[in-house]
Structure 1
Amino acid sequence: MFNSLVSQEHIEISPAVRGGKPRIVGTRIAVEDVAVMHLKMAYSLMEIAGKYNLALSSVYAAMAYYFDHREEIDRRMEEDDELVAALKRNHPSRLQQKLRLLRSE
């Protein structure tokens, strides 16, 4: 599961942390978090490193790991999004329930 091409000093996988998602060593910042911030939110890698007090090399290693495992990580993010949507549908918040009641009155 771990790609030896990415330095183990930067990326680790621990089943007990973040559900076993690959993450930057010594943090709870997952590779997918870095990828989303960079690719979808348009943060530069330097901005991400500065915002979370990370070594720039760790942020680059996270992106390298993402691109090496892109299909797997994207699939897992989609599954997580589907789970969240299902939970929201099946267990609406009290606020959502109150708003629906107010709208129907």
Structure 2
Amino acid sequence: MPVAQKIKHPYIVSIKTHCGGSPVIAGTKFPVRSVVFYILRQGMTPEELIKEFSHLTLPQIYDALSYYYEHKEEIDKELSMTESDLREKAAII
């Protein structure tokens, strides 16, 4: 059985002061979970995402998606918590 290699993600960092320590695109406060939300849940293309958020680049977006697939359970958990938080706030308003 092949040994899984730890992949380096040069565009992804986790900083306690950004998004509660959730992984973000380096040099920004844009969380990996937002990339996943826009592309995989809303159906945007990476090109559409960088047009909408011009401070991002395609290499950053693809690295965020790669990071997601390696940490899918963790990011999906963040997404479900975020979505439920949004639903709760909408119900209160």
Same fold (TM over 0.5): yes
- Which position in structure 1 is the counterpart of 2:35? 34
Shift of 1:39: 0.8
Kindly provide the amino acid, as one letter, of the partner of residue 60 in structure 1: Y
Flag structure 1 segments of 5+ consecutive residues without an equivalent. 94-105
Work out whether residues 6 and 61 of structure 1, in 8 Å CA contact, stay in contact via their aligned partners in 2: no
Alignment of 1:14-93 (within 5 A): 14-53=15-54, 54-85=56-87, 92-93=92-93
TM-score (norm 1): 0.70
The sequence identity of aligned pairs, in percent, is 25
Deviations for 1:29-85, whole angstroms, at most 9, x for unmatched residues? 110100111011111111112221211100000000011101111112223334455
- Where relative contact order (Cα < 8 A, 6+ residues apart) is larger, the structure is 2
TM-score, reference length from structure 2: 0.78
Which amino acid is the alignment partner of residue 19 of structure 1? G
The answer to whether the 8 A contact 1:12-1:22 is kept is yes
Q: Distance in 2 between the 1:21 and 1:81 partners?
A: 15
Tell me the C-alpha RMSD between the 2 structures: 1.9
Unaligned runs of 5+ in 2: 1-5
The count of corresponding residues between Structure 1 and Structure 2 is: 87
Query: Segments of 4+ in structure 1 off by > 6 A?
Result: none
Q: Distance in 1 between matches of 2:43 and 2:90?
A: 28
